Amino acid sequence: MSLYLSTPVVATREKLVRALRQEGLSVEEEAEVMQVSVDSERLDEMAGRIAEQLSRVELGDTRALLMPSETTASIADLIHMETLDSVLARIDARVVHDVLENNRLVTYVHPIVCADDTTEVYAYECLSRGTADDGSIINPGFLFDTARKADLLFYLDREARVTSIRSGARLAKKSKLFINFNPSTIYTPEYCLNTTMRELDNAGLSADDVVFEVVESDRIADVDHLLGILDFYRERGFKVALDDLGAGFNSLTTLSQLRPDYMKLDIDLVRDVDRDPFKEAIVRSLLTLAKDLGIHAIAEGIEREGEYLWVKNAGAAYLQGYYFSKPVPAESVAAGD
């Protein structure tokens, strides 16, 4: 394959050339456009190397074109160069395609425990992970970020919901299931969520068994659209949760508009809350607000005993974090029933 690159500044060009040649790749520099030759088997390696070297701004400002090695780019081809970020995402997207086409999406679960008795699991949050050819776990952040950039997030998010339902159905006999969804992937609830509703029916799960959790709530751009999705769930008896409260500048506004049944306090607020007077004041106020509004508050990201005791005494109803358990494969928990 041949990758044609046009960088915004000389410094970016020099960084790229140095890094690629260190990897033993052939780099030809001509005028404003340079050409990198790479075997198809090394595309992923090259993409990762470039992503490590350049900032997000540089990736967005550098123009790129990927073509077969036997084809020489013409002026007409170069006119259609796109952002390097987009080209790298398309290379990385092969991983997403592989996960989806070969059913390599697995579900891990992270327990949400009761504050008054942490041995009692109130719910399990379903978390999706991809697996590689060798069985290793693909970083979920990389998987979902790549899917977003490559316009595959709709398919990955839908498959994640389906896999979560199938994998977690047995756990719902004793505890609720929190199933994540990204509102940007749902265009029309009546159409896009048909598969989700059908899987719930097939698994024998009722509205009492499931809570739908809005992920990336700090990125919500169209609140009216999200309200339509939540109304779809609520009309069918499901409860909804808002994640990462306190992470975005619009969180309190979003809270007043969405009026969730559950709200999760952002991990950065909970971390070291027992040692930070500013965080103490903020978290205490949020917990009081949740109580006044009749919202179940979940403090997530608890990793130490001090954090656990503080949020418990401050009034959090439910707790989640590595202090109690790390996420584990859903099948291993179900097998222990």
CATH number for the domain including 35?
3.30.70
The overall average pLDDT reported for the chain is 87
**Residue 71's domain spans which residues?**
2-95
55/144 same-domain check: no
Return the higher-pLDDT residue of 16 and 110: 110
140/69 same-domain check: no
130/276 same-domain check: yes
123/14 same-domain check: no
Q: Which of 37-51, 69-83, 301-315 has the highest mean pLDDT?
A: 301-315
pTM: 0.81
314: its two tokens = 């401050």
143/110 same-domain check: yes
Final residue before a domain boundary, out of 71, 95, 119: 95
pLDDT of residue 130: 94
What burial class does residue 303 get, using C-beta atoms within 10 Å of its C-beta: 0-12 exposed, 13-18 middle, 19+ buried? middle
pLDDT of residue 133: 85
79/116 same-domain check: no
State how many domains the chain has: 2
